[in-house]
A and B are shown apart, each in its own frame.
Chain A
């Protein structure tokens, strides 16, 4: 099936060239970081995790969101999604590659990364994160590839694939749960020290992941002869709506606990994000935009009349995707570190090289996604012809 990846028109190769260019630029900046150290980023002694780890957190969610097509299809026998499960699985693969690269570029000593396997530490959540991320990656690779190959050959996928499909469902939940556990089990970081963090992560994942899938489905319909289907997109839209409601509800619970109890440690970080503290608040406009985008997206998603209009739906999905990205990919990680354990405020913003490296990482993910989707579309077109 790989031949589909190299049989493309000029537009396809143009897009690949753009991505390779971005990867090249990002890699150049990464070489600089490798030479100088992480000092070229905005990270500091106080804000020791930033943009890179935030991208891990966000894209783990997008990867986990892929399960929202797999689960209805295989557990509830919702046949319509059979057409797009492979899209969900390949999106998960590309997202996981972004996640893993984000961790690698964040390491101070990346050449020592195998120490995690050489000296396994079952008390560290990072150890489990490595296990579930890799596990979910391989499950999706095996399942997605076999299901697609079977479709091409006009056969049913082999029987041994079925247990792996079932296994991939709890794995999807686990990747985001364990990623939340990285943060919410740390004493003294009150912003994250909340049992709702993992559920909230999952809710935002099940909104943002399928939102991206809807957008990709609309693009696929436009650039190819394969139509992921109107019914499929509408079902995804309903899933997105419920997940977004859950996400905002969980955030409301968070606000209630912090501000009704009035415990300073719990309020400080939220205040920092939304109004600023001690005159510091670089993220304030971002966070309000994030909230506005998510609420507006919800207003567009709830009434059937707007949700069923694919143009409006696309706008809502873009708003949601950006809103959730600001929330998780910008605010959530750095705000946990501001104020620092000594209640001093040292703010964080990513630097230019840091952003370029991140763009490079995303470009790798986009390249992987493009190639996998190209193959998928090739198979689907061939089968229908």
Chain B
């Protein structure tokens, strides 16, 4: 009995937590289909705001720029994060390890305004010294994004590598495989779900960033969060609700597809090579 009562209490608290998480999101979606311009009073069903969204050239251009930056950022960040994760998880205590570890964990918590300001000053000083970058825009935003999202990818890759059964790599090496071959045949397949998760996370981090991009952007490079921010400052608008709903839809779809793919791969991988639990922490690794 006692056990049951306690579990009801904790279930209730947990349910409240989830309601808190999803209530605002639900309200966003519901009011994107509102006929009335007022975001909070229901005036009947309508999809007019979606039409208005797709006629808004400024939003579309900004969305396209943001998607380009996000995709490039995710690819670079995964490469950099894979390197850093390997170094931190597999190379033991090398010189400079604590420096690298510190530079990896600092961006995870560093306030955005500090990252944005500091990297902007770097670009300005570099321009004075070398003439590059001539103008700030897509490239500078991309560099800034890669720098902080690589840290997140590193954490994901590193914890998966630490998690992974090292006996497999050792067995392959005992059987005469060269390090490069071990990496390609054993390590990479096992950590590939973490790489996929890291790619998706880096993609959304970049797509989401307002503060850092505002600092390092220049004339002509306006990303989607900047457009959303300047519109939100003027007040709530159902067009933003429609945009939010579309973003939610795309992200949820992406996550579900990635989740299914990872789940399958993990099932296969486990049957093929992994002994126990190599992929147990697929989800919690993500932050």
Q: Do A and B bind each other?
A: no
